[in-house]
Chains A and B, each alone.
Chain A
Amino acid sequence: MAGWIFVVSLVLALVAVYRPFGDYMYRVVTGTRSSVAERGIYRLVGVNPAAEQTWGVYARSVLAFSAVSVLFLYLLLRVQDKLWLSLGLPAVTDHIAWNTAVSFVTNTNWQAYSGESTMGHLAQMAGLAVQNFVSAGIGIAVAVALIRGFAARRSGTLGNFWVDLTRITLRILLPVCALAALILMVGGVVQNLSGGTDVTTLTGATQHLTGGPVASQEAVKLLGTNGGGFYNTNSAHPFENPTTWTNWFQIFLIFLIPFSLPRVFGRMVGQNRQGYAIVAVMGILAIASVALTVGFEVHGGGTVPQAVGAAMEGKDVRFGVPDSAAFAAATTLTSTGAVNSFHDSFTPFGGMMPIVNMMLGEVAPGGVGSGLYGLLILAVITVFVAGLMVGRTPEYLGKKIGAREMKLASLYFLVTPTLVLAGTAAAFATGNNSTALNVGPHGLSEVLYAFTSAANNNGSAFGGITVNTPWWDTALGLAMLLGRFLPIVLVLALAGSLARQRATPESEGTLPTHQPLFVGMVVGVTVVLVALTFLPALALGPIAEGLS
């Protein structure tokens, strides 16, 4: 019962902030006045904030910034042993450094390393946490660029990437993170530069208590739907998530931006009800998924949970089963991938839900920005399918969905399934699935989970699979890179194509896209597309295990 109240209280809190926080973000991304700090940054970077970019220039700016970021982070990790606050840890090995650099730049935060034994404090703060901010900023910027495409009237331009990145980072991410970090510190999350303390336990053993600037990184890890934990056990670690209420707060932070961005969408296209329709789709899928995950986990299944009497393996006592399951759903419905319990030890169907959530393409509500643009692509596909049914030219928000738009939307949808299924097949074909801890259907689930997580930029791990080998680091790194930037380029191309169109006035044949019928259709299209794509793979993995 308490578990259900937990979920309901989160829903209520998100409903309460939807309008005020969404309106605030709207003012940030549409504002034109620069602060002193922003003008300073524009001058240092050497950009003209008034210059509008076409989709090609916008995309090249995103790619250039990300390429520089990968390189910078890779170098930082490779030389960390020579820098301040390295805690005596050695340089990160080449394949782990490559994997980690890609992982954090793509907002995936897949971790092929254990934080407390690999990363010094400087690498965490100035390397990883910076990418937590800017990769989240890029996601929001791309989503805003797509909305500008819908809202534009033959201008053909999408705004300025450097301005978007700066404003989103400075005015949304940084202040909310600072406040959230402070709240987490009150809860007991540590924030220091200590290399750790040796203590003598009550029974005379020695325990090395770790330190670190955890709260500052924890806040952005969740708010930016990044998910890379400071420590190996992520949000299960008591220094990252010490209490039952910090656990609630962490889930709230995960959902805050993704669930509020539809408000920005509604306001930018001039019809708030369009935002409500989009957030309704997200909400329906999210609530269904959370309810299923919590229900499966609480009601057991699988031999070991039945022997134990509860699915408590890989869960901490203070969170218990329902709140751990709710966190697992939240982290995979978004692109976060932080964990407060270990999905590998979930009941068979409970453990299937995180995979299904990620396979949904992370649109309910998805990662910051990426969830919104992913769902808008699905809305475009839905409009097209509906148009075919009634035989009219499909339109969405006054823009015609023609052959070019549909090609881009379809390609977008195909990117991640291709990466997931081809990657899983490649792992088995090359024998690299042998690093999985479990055999049989569960072994397949572990491999499938790894590629699903990487290609969808989630970063959560089923665990139970050794991924710090050169093959896995390289393969998953490629999956993350392509799974992030191919869709971004396609979204921006779509945005550019829409921005060049003039608005078509509504006619009687226009499908209203703010009514329950349309909401239901988008939900249906999402579920059907995902089911058709992934059901065979799921049947061989978690479903086979759950039914055996």
Chain B
Amino acid sequence: MRLPSWLSQHLAALRALLVLTILLGLAYPLLLVAVGRIPGLSDKANGSLVAHGSVLIGQAFTDADGNPVPRYFQSRPSAAGDGYDPTATSASNLGPNSVVDTLADNPDDASQSLLTQVCARSLAVGTLEGVSGARPFCTADGVGAVLAVFHRDGFTGPITRVVSVNQTGTPFVATYDGVTVEPATIGDDYQALGGIITPIRGDAPSHPAVPADAVTASASGLDPHISPAYAALQVPRIARERGLSQDAVRKLVHDNTTDRALGFLGEPAVNVLKLNLALDGLAPNGPAANGPAANGLAPNGLAPNGLTADGPAANGLTADGLTAGGQK
């Protein structure tokens, strides 16, 4: 029996697909799985597991409420699930000019712009580490410093009204071009009303004390690394919490830093899990485990204050700042 040619062509296609599926879809990957069982390779093929996790996969060093555990080096912010969730890897996908928050009474309806997330994280990290959290385009209370400027004729003419779009309380500046700045009203979309969205640079240094990777969510949401700069910023706190010398902690940081491979590939990076495991190995029962500092689980309890530069003033901001700086 001779089949019509269109049918025999599709049957040939089906046979080809089935043959190739067995070869490429089963034999090839399963052979490699078998190769992955070879000693020496098997640790890597199974995910580079160590005690408490994988050296390749970052994790959050926070307590059940999402607050940083001060005796551990902290990872970067993460957009994977509730933070460092390998079953829901993700980046934030917020754009470079995401600067206007959605304000709402109900927290479920509110959303923070990327700028406000950055500002809030910067403030929280600054507070935790006892340095200034100030950044360009950020207000002192840790939201994006953004005004909606209304002109009489749309884009031109004298300014008639100015609103600080991310703040419902006292605006970060009193006046703009001689016009009094109003706080935002929940529910108003000032861009739709014709306001020109104007981020305000402010006078923060262009190289803030809190490094870039500490205030941004990673691509994978599972970034196992922080920059050497962010590690260095955390050294004094860790030394204090653990009763170690800063030099001893710095040496551990150095031991867990990978430089650029071959001198030009990628960036220097500090593996946070390996570093924290090494810390626990060095001072498992140091003051961190039972001293007063361990109470610091509640963010910045009283213990560190005597040692930090900005004592009580920082405390007023602590609670808000740290919550906002959690994994959004």
Contact = CB atoms under 8 A, between A and B. Distances in A.
A320 B213 CA distance: 10
Interface string B256-281: 00101111111101000100110010
Interface string A309-343: 11111111111100110000000000000011110
Interface string B94-113: 11111100000000000000
B137 A307 contact: yes
B14 A68 contact: yes
B29 A348 contact: no
B57 A303 contact: no
A177 B24 CA distance: 10
Contacts of A9: 264
Contacts of A464: 93-95
Contact of B94 (A189, A347, A438): A438
Interface in A33-69: 41, 44-47, 60-61, 64-65, 67-69
B45 A191 contact: yes
Contacts, number: 373
A348 B97 contact: yes
Nearest to A308: B212
Nearest to B36: A191
Nearest to A220: B24
A341 B219 contact: yes
Given A126-B25, A203-B63, A238-B56, A317 B44 contact: no
A346 B96 contact: yes
B90 interface: yes
Task: Tell me which of B9, B47, B215 has the highest count of chain A C-beta atoms within 10 A of its own C-beta.
Answer: B47
Contact of A304 (B28, B61, B97, B223): B97
Contacts of A44: 15, 19
A507 interface: no
Interface residues of A, number: 119
A63 B239 CA distance: 66
B231 to A, nearest CB: 10
A6 B266 CA distance: 8
Nearest to A463: B93
Interface string A181-203: 11001111111111011011111
A307 B200 CA distance: 10
B21 A314 contact: no
B98 to A, nearest CB: 6
B1 interface: no
Given A125-B25, A233-B89, A344-B95, A320 B266 contact: yes
Contact of A313 (B33, B47, B85, B94): B94
Interface string A238-256: 1100111101100000000
A181 B25 contact: no
Interface stretch (B114-122, B167-175, B244-252): B114-122
A168 B15 CA distance: 18
Contact of B59 (A46, A201, A314, A351): A201
A61 B92 CA distance: 43
A323 B266 contact: yes
Given A169-B20, A215-B45, A347 B90 contact: no
B253 interface: no
A495 B95 CA distance: 44
B221 interface: yes
B304 to A, nearest CB: 19
A207 interface: yes
B60 interface: yes
B32 A191 contact: yes
A12 interface: no
Nearest to A232: B89
Interface in B1-47: 6, 8-17, 19-21, 23-26, 28-33, 35-36, 41, 44-47
B152 interface: no
B20 A239 contact: no
A248 B49 contact: no
Contact of A314 (B41, B92, B119, B135): B92
A302 to B, nearest CB: 3
Given A64-B13, A311-B96, A344-B93, A243 B46 contact: no
Nearest to B42: A192
A313 B88 contact: no
A72 interface: yes
Interface string A7-46: 0010000000000000000000000000000000100111
Contacts of B85: 207-208
12 contacts: A61-B9, A72-B21, A116-B87, A125-B25, A202-B276, A203-B72, A209-B86, A239-B57, A304-B98, A304-B114, A315-B219, A318-B266
